[in-house]
Amino acid sequence: MAASLSLKDVSLHFGGVKVLQDVSFDVEPGVIFGLVGPNGAGKTSLFNCISGHYRPSSGSISIDGTEASGSPPARLARLGLARTFQHPALQLNASVLQNVLLGGHTRLPGGPVSWALRLPYTARSERAIRTEALELLDRAGLAWAADLPADELSHGLHKGVELWRALLSRPALLLLDEPAAGLSHGEVEQLIATVKRLRTEQDITIIIVEHHMGLISALTDRVVVLDHGRKLMSGTAAEAQSDPRVIEAYIGKDAADDAA
């Protein structure tokens, strides 16, 4: 079931540097939500706070009403959160299938002892998850690469492998960090089609950090624009692209005045 996300007055400070300041917004279940802004706006830092890689200096982050601020990634995974990264975090010497299977780790019953002993119920779960991983790769057109080392694949395919790994955890809330970075035009079009299909086929909430405004326009229901660690505005992608404050943040005040 798709999860909601709520941020209230989230701030992040590193020493005297204020990276995020009092950021608040709500994401309803089942939407595709965009987090955009110029370089240095704080987008990835905010993603790191949501996904448990950073602990906010203050404020609240909740998933389906459960306080999640400062929780480790393992607890957030149990709350239904999964994430991809701008630079795919794959085990390059492992096979594509082995990389995808890492996403199913949180679904295994028991704990380290039962996993090590490969008790019958653990073995059954492992087989079921492996079958599901192979089905995901087949649907993605990557069945041919299942047994290949991940380092033999292109950057674009690395992005795909990381996405399918995240989906194997059956997330209720999926964070995509610049999924179009480094992709060709054709790969971006394929990514858009894939995310649209996920929206249709799965009950999931998706939040995207992205510079590629074509992708944001094609996919998102709503966006929040950050600038210098603060929320600048929220609305649709079209509203953001025509907002003078957003134009100024992206291209500078003088250029915005000249464009006007």
Instruction: Give tens-digit pLDDT for 210-254.
Output: 888 889 999 999 999 999 999 999 999 999 999 999 989 886 644
User: Are 34 and 27 in contact, with CB atoms under 8 Å apart?
Assistant: no
Could you tell me what percent of the chain has a pLDDT over 90?
Answer: 63
Instruction: Please give the pLDDT value at position 104.
Output: 85
| CATH class of the domain whose range is 1-80+173-260 | alpha beta
- Judged against a pLDDT cut of 80, whether residue 260 lies above it is answered with no
d(CA 76, CA 61): 11
What average pLDDT does range 99-114 have in this prediction? 75
Give the length of the chain.
Answer: 260
Whole-model pTM: value is 0.88
Domain segments of the chain as ranges: 1-80+173-260, 91-170
User: Are 97 and 134 in contact, with CB atoms under 8 Å apart?
Assistant: yes
Q: Residue 259 is which amino acid?
A: A
58-63 and 66-67 strand pairing: antiparallel
- Judged against a pLDDT cut of 80, whether residue 194 lies above it is answered with yes
Instruction: Give tens-digit pLDDT for 30-39.
Output: 999 999 998 8
Q: Residue 208 is which amino acid?
A: I
Average pLDDT value over all residues in the chain: 88
DSSP 108: -
Instruction: Give tens-digit pLDDT for 108-144.
Output: 666 665 656 666 667 777 888 899 999 999 988 899 9
Which residues fall within 8 angstroms of residue 251, CB to CB, at 6 or more apart?
259
